[in-house]
């Protein structure tokens, strides 16, 4: 069964550094998402992406964040200047369609900002 994959599984970085988290969505899916989960807390929506555009973003997704689909398979989340509070598990997800279709989650990237 196809799955969403993410790399790396764990990223450690120094405060102020840029990080890029990578995701490969399921191949026939058209909608892509990033969520984050701070340890022990709920999953929080960051951004959705369709047709090479951001379709929705949350208050968390400020100017420090950006997303890109650099080629036909990858979907990336960039954090320009990491802060301690960016430490979290970041999940990529994808769905065939938007507006109430099942979102399939990747295994996550644990980001630790020191």
Partner 1 sequence: GENVEQHPSTLSVQEGDSAVIKCTYSDSASNYFPWYKQELGKRPQLIIDIRSNVGEKKDQRIAVTLNKTAKHFSLHITETQPEDSAVYFCAANSNSGYALNFGKGTSLLVTP
Q: Which is nearer to partner 1, 1 or 14 (CB)?
A: 1
CB nearer to partner 1: give 86 or 106: 106
For residue 30, the minimal CB distance to partner 1 (Å) is 12
- Which class for 86: exposed (0-12), middle (13-18), buried (19 or more C-beta within 10 A)? buried
Q: Which residues pair with 12 in a beta bridge?
A: 112
| Complete edge-to-edge strand list for the sheet that includes strand 75-79 | 5-7, 19-24, 75-79, 65-68
Buried b (16+ CB within 10 A) or exposed e, 20-51: ebbbbbbeebebbbbbbeeeeeeebbbbbbbe
Task: Tell me which residues in 4-43 interact with partner 1 (CB under 8 A).
Answer: 31, 33, 35, 41-43
73 is a site residue for partner 1 (CB under 8 A): no
User: 64, exposed or middle or buried, with CB in 10 Å at 0-12, 13-18, 19+?
Assistant: middle
**82 vs 103, beta carbon nearer partner 1:** 103
Residue selected from 19, 79, 90, 108 as contacting partner 1 according to rule CB under 8 A: 108
Site mask for partner 1 (CB under 8 A), range 47-66, x = bound: -x-x----xx-xx-------
The contact set with partner 1 (CB under 8 A) reads 31, 33, 35, 41-45, 48, 50, 55-56, 58-59, 91, 98-108
């Amino acid at each position: 069964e196809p799955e969403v994959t993410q790399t790396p599984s764990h990223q450690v970085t120094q405060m102020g550094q840029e990080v890029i988290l990578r995701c490969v969505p399921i191949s026939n899916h058209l909608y892509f998402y990033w969520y984050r989960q701070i340890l022990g807390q709920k999953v929080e929506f960051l951004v959705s992406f369709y047709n090479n555009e951001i379709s929705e973003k949350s208050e968390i997704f400020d100017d420090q964040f950006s997303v890109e689909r650099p080629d036909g398979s990858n979907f990336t989340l960039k954090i320009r200047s990491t802060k301690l509070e960016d430490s979290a598990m970041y999940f990529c997800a994808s769905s065939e369609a938007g507006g109430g279709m099942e979102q399939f989650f990747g295994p996550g990237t644990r980001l630790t900002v020191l």
